[in-house]
Amino acid sequence: MRLRNVLLAAIVLVALAASIASPPARAVWPSPVFENDLTVEWNPLRPTDQDRVTFVIRTIPANTFIKGASVYLSITDPDNVTQGPYPNPMFVGDPATQATFSVRAYPNGTTVTFYFIAWDFDNDVVTSRAYTYQVQGAPAFGWRHPGFDENVEVGMYPPLPQPHDEVTVSIRSREPQVRIGGANLYLRYIYQSDPPKAGGFAMAYVNTTHLAAMIPGFPPGTEVIFWIIAWDKDVATITSPFYGYNLSVDKYTRHENLPFPPLETYVGTAIGLGILVPVAVYFVDVRRKRRSQG
């Protein structure tokens, strides 16, 4: 009796193992055309740069199953540089009627092109046509020009600093589709006969387009020189020329924010006075003589 039970148990285990190992009924593709055997979906259909995208393929005919599948991805960035296609194994569900794969988020303007390869339990392979989507939103580019001034506009306020004035230095991209990834403001200042000193500040976004940093006020007699290193979305750096201002007590006053007139103004004034004064004296002398004769 015990021997019979043992034999029955062994037969049941063998049958169960065989059923697990054997493929489901009608596991082969009924058509050599991928789209006749499987549907293709991705979600969301119009992703933004914050969205991961999930691909799903599902069998169409009943009792048809996926043994394995891969998705081949090609990524074209906003600068029209394409990488791929690269294969990525998909996760086959249970039951094996669908397979999934998730794609990471990409920057605005990126185009993702993909196709699928799936095989059944007879290892017959079907290949899909190509599908594509583009990440929604204005694309972000790297620097479009070789020079700093061509890419970045620099502002300074006040434009003619007085002693002890804090000076705000701001920058913005000249190209609307290029966002500045970050920037540092570097500083070198000389006070009278003291040795030069240096420092620096990280520039931060103050609105959607401008980054800024503040230079502290310095006493009269200080010469201030600054420059900027900025980088784009690809962390490619560009360096500005040197900018500066001189807090000379001979050139500025605390209560007047105007520079002294340039040398040309003095020369022009002297020439004008040299002509007008003798003419005026001549007419005054003529008028005096007429009065004396009358």
Which pair of structure tokens corresponds to residue 36? 């006749």
Rounded to whole angstroms, what are the CA distances from 207 to 74, 170, 210?
Answer: 35, 11, 6
| Least confident window among 2-11, 98-107, 162-171 | 2-11
Over residues 134-180, the pLDDT tens digits come to 998 766 778 989 999 999 999 999 999 999 999 999 999 998 888 89
Higher-scoring residue by pLDDT: 178, 112: 112
Evaluate whether the domain defined by 27-134 bears CATH number 2.60.40.10: yes
| Nearest CA-CA partner of 32 in 119, 132, 93, 121 | 119
d(CA 216, CA 278): 52
100 is written with which tokens? 């999934």
What residues pair up with 118 in beta bridges, in sequence order?
69, 126
Residue that wins the pLDDT comparison between 252 and 248? 248
- pLDDT over 60 (residue 286): no
Phi, psi of 20 (to 5 degrees): -70, -40
pLDDT tier for residue 35 given thresholds of 50, 70 and 90: very high
* Arch. (CATH architecture) of 148-247: Sandwich (2.60)
Residue among 185, 187, 190 at smallest CA distance from 199: 187
Is the Cβ–Cβ distance between 232 and 178 less than 8 Å? yes
d(CA 258, CA 278): 32
**DSSP label at 206?**
S
Which has the higher per-residue pLDDT, 273 or 46? 46
The pLDDT of residue 13 is: 56
Q: What one-letter code names the amino acid at 92? A: V
Confidence of residue 260 (pLDDT cuts 50, 70, 90): very low
175 class by beta-carbon count within 10 Å (0-12 exposed, 13-18 middle, 19+ buried) = middle
Measured between alpha carbons, how far is 55 from 115 in angstroms, rounded to an integer?
Answer: 10
Domain boundaries, the chain: 27-134, 148-247, 263-294
95 cis-preceded (ω within 30 degrees of 0): yes
> Cα(39)–Cα(113) distance, rounded to whole angstroms?
17
181 against 260, higher pLDDT: 181
Q: Minimal CA–CA distance to 158: which of 169, 147, 149?
A: 169
Q: 148-247: same fold as 27-134? A: yes
83-87 mean pLDDT: 93
Residue 50's CB: how many other CB atoms inside 10 A?
A: 9
Classified as helix, coil or strand, 286 is: helix
In this prediction, residues 101-129 reach a mean pLDDT of: 93
